[in-house]
Structure 1
């Protein structure tokens, strides 16, 4: 028992100590640490791996990016804080938990903002999206690129065809005030919860439902305990790759350009990986007995009026610009 305790303690201290050291230098070599809360095979982690390989190749091995997947360095909220402090060099998270740091991000995370994926990428790769990446320096982060996370939909223990079916449901959401208000607008009760805790919460009845994209639904095996997937597609919230400004400021201008280019190249590759994974995920969960529901989206859209009033009132012109984009 004592031996087992010592082994567990040593492993915990190893992970803890890894997260305490910022950018390392070994002679001319630079070692950067990147965090992601998904498993290695997930498209965002594979996108980070592509970025790491490109940086390594373009610097002839002088810069190495070590990737820590599966939330080994902490939850999204925890790793965001560590990235601000310079403990983690590179991070990949949803933009939802970042909205508490930078209010303008709520705009590009609003429900039913985009007509489709093509519309979203035109916004993110254009002046609006790229401007937001640059503005993140105000909160100690340097935006590098976006990643695809498809559309988020609700899954539950019972079918959801309309907002009325969600009345009184306890729904897990990310630690985001915006997402809490989206769920509240649909008549349900939002419960912020770490991604890693959702399966058990669904299994034990602590929550009735959750919301995410198809690959996450499959990866986490949430389909086993919530076998009804309602594709209301209420939110197309992009992921983001960003760096600690503490680390960024230590890099040369040349290295910054290389890292930025690698992140943008990884974005393009990740989008293709995502589309493949999304299609495969829906096929697999349906084969496993999941009921896929295609509800009428208009009642869900109509329920978002108060959400737009709260989060869009200061950015009405920007929202109009996005929605009118051809």
Structure 2
């Protein structure tokens, strides 16, 4: 199966850069999602639309471009920073690194012990300094924090311990911290576009990738990499982002409605994704589509990564944030 065929609209995005925020006096907001209707990201964006309409109470139109028809998350963020084409989207922090070295720290491997710890970090808004920097430099606001999926490694071979990981050709996100941490474990990480992962594994360019359950299901990665090593190396944070250039053009009461809706839609996103995570894996396993593989050396894996994370936090002036995260007792 050719994944480009499924995501064929991605390359057409530049032609749509003139989509207006306002058309003939009416306000139209354009959103973007890499996925279809059932994915938590898309569901969160639909919830956001519903809540904005509810809280503002005046006529407004939303156009949500799904299934990568406007490209991928990296492009969405660039468009929002430019104030054109995309007004709102869920975006991985890894794609914000051009504007903020600290942004990928929000979503780095082994930064959270478990979901309770993850929730506590978000409840205390410990990533506010990062959000402030992104808003200042990119003119993109993080109006809510979604996510909650636990990331594991899907591969075309069984991986149970660190020895099995040695030299594993694995796709990672573009932010340097992902390559550094996976290299520290002994893997051979490479950056490949999200929509190229399926073909890359199918053609033996790489052996594996890493993703939360919703992504594995939506992208059908299990067809080429049916062994899911339960490394639980990260819990996703996926900010709901909004273009600052767009927001500045909108009435004050609509801006308030957007900010309120962003927080609530992201809370919905967190509940939907974290709640469905294990259910998706169980359903795929029962259907014979993937094999869940116990990974026996997660603690040892984390010990190899911890010094890399500490050095990275120092490099990006995020030691204070990391110390506060580690001090939480959840």
Q: State the TM-score, normalized to the length of structure 1.
A: 0.90
CA contact (8 A) 1:34 1:65 kept: yes
| 2:320 is equivalent to residue 322 of structure 1 | no
Shift of residue 57 of structure 1?
Answer: 2.6
Alignment of structure 1 residues 150-299 onto 2, 5 Å: 150-289=149-288, 290-296=290-296, 297-299=298-300
In 2 relative to 1, CA 173–12 (structure 1 residues): closer, same or farther, beyond 3 Å?
A: closer
CA distance in 1, matches of 2:75, 2:110: 28
| Structure 2 partner of 1:8 | none
Report the Cα distance in structure 1 between the residues aligned to 2:104 and 2:295, rounded to whole angstroms.
Answer: 25
- Provide the rounded CA distance (Å) in 2 between the counterparts of 1:82 and 1:26: 22
Taking the aligned partners of 1:13 and 1:160, their CA distance within structure 2 comes to 35
4+ residue segments displaced more than 6 Å:
11-14
Report the 3-state secondary structure (helix = DSSP H, G, I; strand = E; otherwise coil) of the residue aligned with 1:150.
strand
Listed one character per residue, the Cα deviations across residues 294-321 of structure 1 (whole Å, up to 9, x for unaligned) are: 2231111011034224312232232111
C-alpha deviation, 1:252, in angstroms: 2.3
Distance 1:12 1:182 in 2: 29
CA–CA separation in structure 1 for the residues paired with 2:11 and 2:181? 39
Counterpart in 1 of 2:120?
Answer: 122
Contact 1:43 1:270 in 2 (8 A): yes
Aligned to 1:5: none
Between the aligned partners of 2:10 and 2:118, the Cα distance in structure 1 is 40
Distance 1:123 1:306 in 2: 21
Per-residue deviation, residues 203-249 of structure 1 (Å, max 9, x unmatched): 11111000001111111111111111011111123001111111121
Distance 1:13 1:191 in 2: 22
* Number of aligned residue pairs: 315
Counterpart Cα distance in 2 of 1:274 and 1:131: 25
Does the residue aligned with 2:112 lie in a helix, a strand or coil? Answer: coil
- Summarize deviations over 1:66-125 as a string: whole Å, max 9, x none: 111211111222221111101111121111222342122233323222121122122123
Structure 1 residues 307, 12: closer, same or farther in 2, change over 3 A?
A: closer
Distance 1:75 1:223 in 2: 21
Give 1:271 shift.
Answer: 2.1
Q: Tell me if structure 1 keeps the 8 A contact 2:10–2:68.
A: no
5+ residue gaps, structure 1, are 1-10
Cα distance between partner residues in 2 of 1:78 and 1:108: 19
Report if the CA contact (8 A) 2:100-2:130 is conserved.
Answer: no
Q: Which moved more, 1:71-80 or 1:132-141?
A: 132-141
Gap change, CA 1:15 and 1:301, over 3 Å in 2: closer
Q: TM-score with structure 2 length normalisation?
A: 0.89
Where does residue 32 of structure 1 map in the other structure? 29
* Equivalent in the alignment of 2:76: 79
User: The residue matched to 2:149 in structure 1 has which SS?
Assistant: coil
Secondary structure of 1:52's counterpart equals helix
Counterparts of 1:13 and 1:132, CA distance in 2 = 30
